[in-house]
Amino acid sequence: MSDFEKESNVNTPMPKAILPSAACKIRVIGVGGGGGNSLQHMINQGVTGVDFIAINTDAQALSRSTAPLKVQIGVKLTNGLGSGCDPNKGRKAAEESREDIKRLLSGSDMVFITSGMGGGTGTGATPIIAQIAKETGALTIAVVTKPFEFEGKRHVINAESGISELAKHVDSIIVIDNEKLLSNLGSNISIVNAFNQANDVLLNAVRGITGSITDPDAFINLDFADVVTVMRGRGHAMIGTGIGQGANFVEDAVERAIHSPLIETVDFSSAAGVLVYARVNQNFPINKWNQVCNAVQAYADEEADCKFGMKFDESIAEDQIELTILITGISSTCASYSNYQDVQSLPR
């Protein structure tokens, strides 16, 4: 018997099962062109239990979105023609439409804001929208991307400034470094697939955080208060995904999630909170669930808040598991991408 299996015999408490928080109002906002594309990806992938809102200065881009709610900001300033890669114009556009945004977000319990940092609207407007969301009392989480190098130095400089400002106005922020993802996907990947990989990370973040609260098919649901405990005022956060199948499917999934490109060099002992969301077959054995819980908790500090959710999915094989692991409260140094070592591609 392996050490991993021995640890799995520890009687790990099963998370409290409750009914989905039907009264929990969760809104997902895509800001600017990049954020709008990420939002559309989530809509296309069938994410449920949330309200989708597209916000942009570009009227033409908004017309292509299938989001139920669309908000054109800065109409007087931009005439619907976009911000021209000028973050100051994006910020002023959001300020012009502040009251409209405030009314739209009123009554929210949780607000996700996604944008591609580096352009005008995403970089300039996102911090203002986050500030407004926080003022409504909502748990505010940003999931944003840093640009690919081929997008130009101006975008990179804009992104660094925008992320720094955004971090002041959210409870937790997840930054996806597109260039880091690209280095792990190989130089021959198409531009479309490269952007889709980044969108998948954003998708997993939203699905992993909200799924355990709102999904009516989830077997182990978490209270909204559990998510607040892990994410309120936690600052920098990171996310990893892992798929395991075969004889050692639990061990493989945990290891792949822990060592995935966006999380590998983070010191888990610095994390204040950990949220795990698992998708498994309905015949998933309870001793395997103990393995998941024990393995994740072994990486985290004993004082960290660890929360677990699970969904049965008939498309998942009996010897398979899909894990999303979110860690919060890490230092900005740990969240830096500049010191990352080369790691394997995201598991598919």
Residue whose entry in the numeric block shows the structure tokens 């999630």? 257
> Is there a single domain that holds both residue 94 and residue 239?
no
> Is there a single domain that holds both residue 76 and residue 30?
yes
**110 domain-assigned:** yes
**225 domain-assigned:** no
Find the CATH number of the domain harbouring 197: 3.40.50.1440
Global pTM reads 0.82
Greater model confidence, 28 or 24? 28
> Is there a single domain that holds both residue 193 and residue 107?
yes
CA distance 96 to 209: 31
User: What's the confidence (pLDDT) of residue 338?
Assistant: 33
> Is there a single domain that holds both residue 12 and residue 48?
no
Q: Are 108 and 26 in contact (CB under 8 A)?
A: yes
Which amino acid, one-letter code, is at 310? M
> Is there a single domain that holds both residue 158 and residue 49?
yes
260 closest CA partner among 326, 319, 206, 195: 326
> Is there a single domain that holds both residue 62 and residue 192?
yes
> Is there a single domain that holds both residue 14 and residue 95?
no
> Is there a single domain that holds both residue 61 and residue 192?
yes
102-118: average pLDDT: 95
User: What's the confidence (pLDDT) of residue 128?
Assistant: 98
Of these ranges, 88-97, 185-194, 238-247, 274-283, the one predicted with the greatest mean pLDDT is 88-97
pLDDT band at residue 265 using 50, 70 and 90 as cut-offs: low
> Is there a single domain that holds both residue 14 and residue 85?
no
CA count, 13 A, side-chain hemisphere, 76: 5
- Domain residues for 284? 3-18+235-330
pLDDT in tens, 34-71: 999 999 999 999 988 899 999 999 999 999 999 999 99
**338 domain-assigned:** no
> Is there a single domain that holds both residue 153 and residue 45?
yes
User: What's the confidence (pLDDT) of residue 123?
Assistant: 96
Q: Residues near 163 by Cβ (< 8 Å), separated by ≥ 6?
A: 117, 144, 146, 173, 175
CA distance 72 to 62: 7
Find the CATH number of the domain harbouring 264: 3.30.1330.20
**257 domain-assigned:** yes
**342 domain-assigned:** no
**336 domain-assigned:** no
CA distance 307 to 313: 20
**What is the three-class DSSP state of 258?**
helix
71 closest CA partner among 6, 5, 128: 128
Residue whose entry in the numeric block shows the structure tokens 């928080």? 21
DSSP 92-110: HHHHHTHHHHHHHHTT-SE
* Count of domains for the chain: 2
266-286: average pLDDT: 85
**What is the three-class DSSP state of 240?**
strand
Give the CA radius of gyration of the chain: 20
**348 domain-assigned:** no
User: What's the confidence (pLDDT) of residue 22?
Assistant: 52
> Is there a single domain that holds both residue 153 and residue 288?
no
pLDDT in tens, 112-167: 999 999 999 999 999 999 999 999 999 999 999 999 888 899 999 999 999 999 99
Burial label for 1, CB within 10 Å (0-12, 13-18, 19+), is: exposed
pLDDT in tens, 172-216: 998 888 887 777 777 788 888 878 888 887 888 888 787 777 776
> Is there a single domain that holds both residue 277 and residue 210?
no
**246 domain-assigned:** yes
User: What's the confidence (pLDDT) of residue 86?
Assistant: 93
Q: Are 127 and 91 in contact (CB under 8 A)?
A: yes
Looking at the chain, the whole-number percentage of residues with pLDDT higher than 90 is 47
